[in-house]
Amino acid sequence: MSTPTAPLRKGTKSEVEQQYFQGKIGGQDFKADFMTHTLKNNFWLAEGTMRIPPNETSRQVVTFKYSANRDLLPNGRYTLTENDKDPRLAVILMTVNDTPTPAYEAERGTIEFFHDPNDNSISGALDIYFHDLNGIEVRAQILLSI
């Protein structure tokens, strides 16, 4: 199980807070057109969805799933390792409208987040690695604030 490597505190909130879910996946830009942050089965799901050009019928989805129990998973920085799955959090990447729909889970990397219980917002950074269908390791770096 991952252990926090650093505590995290959120700065003061500005009057107008920008929402974003963007970064790079395998060297390609990712900028979410749609963002959601929902609670399901005691897990928060922070999700960013980007339409894929040219016809934009396919969508790339990045989901950060983390435990809603702050005692079990406090805000902070966590290191994922290949040999030790952490049931408290996961990062899932998938492309919708591809046949079959490929879905990948982060195998290693660093996740840093702050969940504000006052408004249930989240901000953080995902710097993770996964292997694609061809066995090639792909790096994803995402910043989010929802």
- Give the DSSP H/E element, type plus range, for residue 39: strand 34-40
Cis peptide before 87 (omega within 30 of 0): no
**Does residue 34 form part of some domain?**
yes
Total domains, the chain: 1
Q: What is the pTM of this model?
A: 0.85
- Average pLDDT for the chain: 89
Taking the alpha carbons of 125, 67, 146, 25 in that order, is the dihedral positive or negative?
Answer: positive
- Whether residue 12 lies inside any domain: the answer is no
Q: What is the pLDDT of residues 2-60, one digit of tens each?
A: 656 655 555 555 544 689 999 999 999 999 999 999 999 999 999 999 998 887 788 99
Q: Which domain holds residue 40?
A: 19-145
- Tell me if 58 is assigned to some domain: yes
Torsion on CA atoms 89, 30, 50, 125, rounded to nearest 10? 30
Give dist(CA 105, CA 127) in Å, integer. 13
| Under 8 Å between Cβ of 61 and 32 | no
- Asked whether residue 1 is assigned to any structural domain, the reply reads no
* Residues contacting residue 86 through CB under 8 Å, at least 6 positions apart: 1, 2, 78, 80
